Amino acid sequence: MIREREDRPGLAVGLALSTYVAFTCIDTSAKWLIEEAMPVAVIVFVRYFGHLLMVCLVAARSEGWGLLRMRKPGLTLIRGSMLVAATFANFTALQYLPMTVTTSIFFISPLIITAMAALFLKERVGPRRWAAVVVGLLGVLVITRPWGAAFHWAMLVSLIPPTASAVYTLITRRLAGVEGPDTMQFYAALIPVVILAPFAIADWTWPEGGWSWAAFLLIGVFGWLGHQIFTLAHRFAGAATLAPLTYTHIVWISLSSWLIFAQPPDFWTVVGAGIIIASGLYVWLRERRLAGR
């Protein structure tokens, strides 16, 4: 169902901030279940199975069988595959790294989108934005420090989520106005469920303890809720207004990592995240300025 856009930036900002709280709850739930030795395939499966149930319960009433109709099945299927690749790699990295590290590395995604748009979509990217991409990569090097003892191979795995997410975002741009948002949500959840079902069933483990059950049952709800709120926020304000709020995610992640897992961000993670965030904000400001010409 398509609803008219409204100009309510204050509400949009509040909704966007709530989105990153919900996304933090996803990673926190996953980290908790990982700490309880639950297999990654099971966690990712449950995350998207819960998401799929919520889409079916909420969207199926209004959309009916139209929810299943794909106008661009190839792109829709690739989009869903990118999402499962990003989530599986992220949860795998969370077995070995603090959430602050994986989230900070993920912030390079807007820079990867810029590079991919130039290389594959032939969008014009000037030397200043290319310089911002390079600076952002330097920020990743500050966090990972591949030359020292602090380096862990899972940091390389953490590069998969922002790359897959960049492809996911570019495909979403292509599908905007072609596929309905509920249909994209449905297949974004269905594809991971279908792909991971055999692996999850083969390695199935039930949670133990009240908090583990809460994380197990709510991780998919948090995923669905985050995407729903994010979509609603864009109804009340444009992407140019909401894009910088992405970086508030690191605040919630840092608090969760510190208070729940006793893993505060170290000095180099803070420095590297600052470099990446500054690079991303520069790209955003540059694109906004160019769009205003």
Percent of the chain with pLDDT over 90: 40
- SS3 state of residue 176: strand
- pLDDT band with cut points at 50, 70 and 90 for residue 291: low
Closest CA to 30 of 269, 257, 273, 248: 257
- SS3 state of residue 179: strand
pLDDT of residue 151: 87
Over residues 124-150, the mean pLDDT reads 83
pLDDT of residue 115: 83
Sequence length of the chain is 293
Over residues 116-138, the mean pLDDT reads 80
- Predicted TM-score (pTM) of this structure: 0.84
pLDDT of residue 2: 45
**Contact assessment for residue 85 and residue 252, using Cβ atoms and an 8 Å cutoff:** no
- What letter would DSSP give residue 97? S
Q: How far apart are CA 276 and CA 110, in angstroms?
A: 10
Q: What are the boundaries of each domain within the chain?
A: 9-291
Those residues with Cβ within 8 angstroms of residue 243's Cβ, 6 or more apart along the chain or in another chain: 110, 284
